[in-house]
Structures are given as structure tokens and as C-alpha cells.
Amino acid sequence: MSRIVIISNRLPVTIKKEHNSLIYYPSAGGLATGLNSLDSSLDKIWIGWPGQEIQEEQEQKAVQEDLKKSGLIPVFLTNEDTELYYEGFSNKVVWPHFHYFTQYTTYRDDYWEAYQRVNRKFADVVIPQLRDDDLVWVHDYQLMLLPAMIRAAFPKISIGFFLHIPFPSYEIFRILPWREAILDGLLGADQIGFHTFNYMRHFLSAAYRISGYEHNFGKLKVGNRLVNVDVFPMGIDYETYAHPKLDDSTITEDVKYIETLAKDRRLIISIDRLDYTKGIPQRVKAFAQFVRNHPEYHRKVSLVMIVVPSRANVDQYKELKQEIDTVAGELNSTYGSFVWTPIKYFYRSLNFRELTTLYRLADVAMITPLRDGMNLVAKEYIASKEDNKQGVLILSEMAGASNELLEAILINPQDMNEIEAALVEALEMPLEEQRTRLESMQEKLKKYDVRHWANTFMNEQRKLMESQLITQTNILNEAEQGKLIAAYKNAKKRLIVLDYDGTLMNFDPDPQAVVPDEALLHILTTLQNTENNKLIVSSGRDRETLQTWLGAIGMDFAAEHGVWMKRGGNWKKPAGITAAWKPQIRTVLENLVERTPGSFIEEKQYSIAWHYRRIDKDLGEKRVREFRDVLRYLTANLDLQVLEGNKVVEIKNAGVNKGKAILNWLNDDEYDFILAIGDDHTDEDTFRAMPETAYTIKVGLAKTDAHYNLLSVEQVREMLEKLIA
């Protein structure tokens, strides 16, 4: 049976040393809840750091044995590891940078070296545990190098990765000195998940602009694999907050105080971990502006602000706390009285009973991070209103949750006036409108809870694994290549049809730069000079270029997608082909070049092409969309065809294609071995023209009418070398 292997920086339990004993504390976080709800028919193991340096070998063995009973496997890290890898690279490089606080990004080589070293430590623990049919799921920004490390040891295993924080725009991400290594690490996964479409879009942009991987509807071709990049917004354990299981033993003095406070005045709540991404000072300043401008709410409204301690020994966090203390203190000292304090400020965490009581009784939740991957507090607040249907959520549009909670009052967290207006709107919102908004959000949160998130990710990864296996069955593997070579050797008369660009030579931004090398000339010369072989190069290239580069070999050609054919030493073209239409089309393309520096026109005798290999892919595709309809209008009555290829658009005479051209050779003779290889959609006409017994091969993993796939030009050349050996 397949297993799910979960890997995260922390295990769902934390070990602490107390009185020379190891104490295990379970985690009640959303990740643990979601992953524990996965398909019970699958075995699960979870690998991660237990939260404590454990150096003694005997203690390590004891911990391993204890955790093994719960399907947990520890990765032991030293204090130096956690200081440099976790506090260092993860939280002083990745965290600020991915949240757009580049002024806090620390560029230190020792941090990066530790990050690589600890990811390798994880790999060294993970790899011995794995089996080929496992589903591996790696979590979050601390382990972005791990997927590629696992892939190197298990090339065919299914690996998923989920990023729980934002992925920044390309312009931000590209600043990192280690950007390519991070992308290479992530692209070791088969499926990469993000909370929002924007994060997904930013990742795809970086993968293309930095590493050159183009995507097709979120799928990237990386080596011999398809990598699926998609959106999986994380939910919460809805029922836990909608109907919390509580008893009287959990009623503390603080719980009673919250209940009393809520009877005296309306409560606005603000709950965050201490972090510069949360926008706490801006929120307090906006509330101060509200208090200053709306005296009618004095003594009627209080902001209950919970700030959970975090990284208190880091300078940036010390300064942040000092700023929050100052602005909150100034507001209270200016407007507070013996009977009213505008802000009830608590620098500590709450237990579950206190938290849910605050959620349930609060009139307004003000959640205004400057940047947040998701923000589950907003979702917990909405779920807690399941019974009374009263309450309003003010939510930052910079939080990932804003893409789902559209019925909240969405604000720009830097706009004090907008937050002030939102507070007034929230406090004055009619109860019926509150109910309508809450019910709409609650329906979504019930359906798309944390269990749905976890199961959807795993189900998509499982489907992807199955589709990868199907794709692999079409690859021309060694066994099938052996059959092809044997058929070639035993044949009495052979026809071999080869495309050029993308098949025999890799693409280049300059089309004239792909002159055949000596190795290719040797392959083609040998094929041409082998008795009973008919060799044809069928290309979109013009005949002059093909003649110059390959003419000395003596093979036949189909040039310009079949407009020109060289058979028996003579170039011929079909009757009725004309170039009278070209000046009209050229005018359109010249205008396009003027507006798109870096693009260029390639003119052939009976076709004309606009290339955008040298420019930004998105800009090129935008231009294609702009003039596609113009071209179709112009070509409608001219019997022309518009072909969209790999960063090129070509206009040629209709009714002429590679398949029709190849029929001239197929009708000439009887062949007992036929081989056709090509890489783009123009070669599909060739594949369709071939008899069923032909060996047809598509270069790449795109959908094709060919019988087989090879993955690259290099693989094509290797196979042809075997053919002539």
C-alpha cells in the first residue's frame, strides 16, 4: 500500500527537558489537524525536528523509540543548526524577503550554508525511510531545498510541496543571491501548492524568468517530469471553533472578565503574533484616529489587543514591541479614564477557552496584516459566530484569506482613513446584514476546511502520479529503442524523416545560430550514405538555409513546411503557390516589430514569420493576442494559414503542410521501415500522414499523434547514434 510521508520543520509534538526528563507536548495546530484527517487507508509517517537539542546518543534512541509508536521520526538538530538555519536563513532571509520586507533581509553566507546543511540532514533521515510508491509531502519555507535532494535519490517517487507563506513577485525574489538554488530545490517536487493564485503566478514567473521553465496552464516540463503548480487555500478545523467542546473547569478569571467586559461595551478584537508583517502599529494608529474623530464612541467601544510573544530577543521584534507599547500607551493616557480604557492590551497568548470566548463575544475583528500568507485567525473568528450570527470582520486585502472572505470589509492596511471608515461601518452595520455576510462566509469555511485542503492536495498529487506513469509509458525507453534499432537493421528499404529545430538542434534566440555541429553532420551523413536509406529533413526553414547547412550531404528536403521540396537533386514547389500577399502582411509585422524591440521578422520565399524569442514571453504573447484577429481578418480571403509555434508566428499558403509534402515520398516507393521525428505542432501533420506501422516520435511531452516521445534533442541524437553504430 502507498504511504504518505509528511516532512515539516517541526513534528506535531514538541519535546522539552524538565527536571532531566523528556516531556512530550502534542501540537493542536491546523497543520496537524489537517494531516491527521488524511485518508485512513494510507499509512502515514511524519518526519521533523522535535523542538529540542538532544545530543546524547541514548536519549536520541529513546526519543526515536517513543516517537515511532506514533508514526513520527525525529531529525536531530544542534543549537547551532537552529540558530543559523532556522533563526538565521529561514527567519532573517526568507521570512522578511517573501513578505516584502526586503529592508530586513540579511545576506549572510553562513546562514545559507547552514540552510543547505540542515536540508541535507533532513534528506539523510528521510531517504532511508522511503519506498518508490510513497507519496511525499514537504512543508514550508524551511525545507525548500529538500524536494530536489529526495528527487536525486528517488527519481520516480511522487513529491509534493506546500508553501504556507506568500511567494513574492519576481522583482522581489530575483534579488536573493540564492534564487536559482531555491527554485531548483522546489522544482524537485511534482506538485507545488500555494494559498492564492497571486503566489502561484509569482512562482511561475520566477521559474520562467530565472530558470527558463515555461508553463502551460500551471504545468512545467522539468526534465522528464511534468510539475503541477496550483492553488490550495488552507482552511481551519471549522467545528472546533463553531461548536467548541468546553466544560466548566476551563472557566478562568480572565474568561469571566471578558464576559463582563462584553456586557459593558462593544468589543473590537485584534489577535496576532508579534511580527512586523502583521501591521499592528498601523492598526493602533488607525484606531487612535477613530477614537479622536468619533467621541460618540468613547466609553462605548474598546479594542482588545492580544499580541502573542515571538522572537523577543531579536532586535527588530524588540523595536516593534516598543513601538506598539508606545502608541497604545499614548492613546490610553490621552483618552482613557477611570471607567474606560480605549485599548485593553495583553502581551501574552490565550488558552483555547479564552480565545473562543473572545471570538464569540467580539462585535468586530480587526485583522489587518501588511502581508500574510493566509491568516487563519480571520477564519476562526467567522467560524465562532456559527450560533449567534453577529459580528463583522475587517480584513486586510493583503492577507491570503481575503481571496475567500469577500464578504468581510476589505481594507488597505496602510490607509488609516479607510480603516477608520471600516470601523464606523462595522459598528453601525445592521444585524441582518451581519447575518447575511457571516452565513455566506461560514458556508465556504465549512466546505473548504482544513481536511478538505489536505485531502484535495493529496488527491491531486495522486492523480498526477498516475498521469506521470501513463505519460512514461509513451517514452521510447531502452527496450522499445532496441526493437526500433532491430527493425532498422533488418529492413530492406527505409524512409527517415527528421525535423531540424527542436529535434536535431536546440532552439536559440538567434535562428541563424544553430548551424549543425560536426556530430550532427556525422549522423546525417552516415544515415544518408547507408544503402537503401531515404533521408529527408522536413523543416520550416527556408530552402537556402537548408541547402547551405546540409546540402553537401545529398539528402532530400521539405522546406518552408512543405512549400519547397528537393527530390533527386531538384527543388520544386506545388502549383498555385504565390507570394503576392506578403507585402500586405509584412506591413502588419513591421508595425509589430516597431512596437516590440527585440522581436524580428524572418522572410522566406513563400512565407513570413515574426519571432519573439529574444523578448519577454508575456509581452510576446500579449502582442500575439493583439494581432491574431487582424491576421485572421487579412488572411481569410487570401488562402493563407497562420501557424503559432515556439515563440514564433508564421504566415504561409494554406493547403501546404509537412504531411502533404511527405506523401510525395511515401507514394514513390514501398518502405518496410519508416521513422519520423519532430517537436512541434507542424510535425503532427507528418505523423498523421504516416502508415500505422511507422515509428513516429514526438520530442517533448506535449499531446501528440506520434506513437512515442523522447524528451530532448540530446535523447534524439543519442538514439540516432545507436541507429548508425
Out of 3.30.9.10, 3.40.50.1820, 3.40.50.2000, 3.40.50.10190, which CATH number does the structure's domain 238-447 have? Answer: 3.40.50.2000
For residue 104, the tally of other CB atoms under 10 A from its CB is 16
Task: Band the pLDDT of 658: cuts 50, 70, 90.
Answer: very high
- Confidence (pLDDT) at 266: 96
Mind listing the pLDDT tens digit for each residue in 538-574? 999 999 999 999 999 999 999 999 999 999 888 998 8
Amino acid in the structure at residue 652: K
520530442: which residue's cell?
Answer: 699
What are the start-end ranges of the E strands in 179-218? 191-194, 215-216
Mind listing the pLDDT tens digit for each residue in 664-696? 999 989 999 999 999 988 999 999 999 999 999
Mind listing the pLDDT tens digit for each residue in 449-461? 999 999 999 999 9
Average pLDDT of the segment spanning 77-100: 96
499 catalytic residue (yes or no): yes
Amino acid in the structure at residue 253: E
- Confidence (pLDDT) at 470: 66
Task: Band the pLDDT of 653: cuts 50, 70, 90.
Answer: confident
Mind listing the pLDDT tens digit for each residue in 504-522? 999 888 888 999 999 999 9
**DSSP letters of 300-328?**
TEEEEEEEE---TTSHHHHHHHHHHHHHH
**How wide is the angle at C-alpha 298 spanned by C-alphas 293 and 303, nearest 5°?**
90
Q: Is the pLDDT of residue 134 over 80?
A: yes
Q: Is the pLDDT of residue 717 over 80?
A: yes
Q: Is the pLDDT of residue 404 over 90?
A: yes
Task: Band the pLDDT of 472: cuts 50, 70, 90.
Answer: low
Average pLDDT of the segment spanning 211-229: 87
The ranges of the chain annotated as CATH 3.30.70.1020 are 582-653
- H or E segment at 209? helix 197-211
Cα-Cα-Cα-Cα dihedral sign, residues 357, 450, 283, 392:
negative
Inter-residue contact 213 to 221 (CB < 8 Å): yes
Helix (H, G, I), strand (E, B) or coil at 12: coil
- Confidence (pLDDT) at 475: 85
The ranges of the chain annotated as CATH 3.40.50.1000 are 478-574+656-724
Helix (H, G, I), strand (E, B) or coil at 139: strand
What are the start-end ranges of the E strands in 448-563? 494-498, 533-538, 556-559
Helix (H, G, I), strand (E, B) or coil at 246: coil
Class in CATH terms, 582-653: alpha beta
- How many Cα atoms occupy the beta-carbon half-sphere of 641 within 13 Å? 15
- What would the CATH number be for the domain defined by 3-231? 3.40.50.2000
Average per-residue pLDDT for the chain: 93
Of these residues, 272, 499, 501, 556, which one is catalytic? 499
**How wide is the angle at C-alpha 236 spanned by C-alphas 234 and 241, nearest 5°?**
165
For residue 160, the tally of other CB atoms under 10 A from its CB is 26
Average pLDDT of the segment spanning 107-132: 97
Q: Which CATH fold would you assign to the domain 478-574+656-724?
A: Rossmann fold (3.40.50)
3-state SS of 368-388? CCCCECCCHHHHHHHHCCCCC
Q: Is the pLDDT of residue 469 over 80?
A: no
Helix (H, G, I), strand (E, B) or coil at 235: coil
Q: What crossing angle do the helices spanning 713-724 and 518-529 adopt, rounded to 10°?
A: 40
Inter-residue contact 678 to 538 (CB < 8 Å): yes
What are the start-end ranges of the E strands in 570-639? 570-572, 600-603, 607-611
Contacts of 477 (CB under 8 A, 6+ apart): none
Contacts of 344 (CB under 8 A, 6+ apart): 261, 302, 303, 304, 305
The ranges of the chain annotated as CATH 3.40.50.2000 are 3-231, 238-447
Question: How many angstroms separate the first and last alpha carbons of the chain?
Answer: 44
Of the listed ranges 20-34, 331-345, 382-396, 675-689, the one predicted with least confidence = 20-34
- H or E segment at 593? helix 582-595
What's the DSSP call for residue 277? G
Average pLDDT of the segment spanning 204-211: 94
Inter-residue contact 110 to 84 (CB < 8 Å): yes
Helix (H, G, I), strand (E, B) or coil at 641: strand
Cα-Cα-Cα-Cα dihedral sign, residues 158, 163, 169, 170:
negative
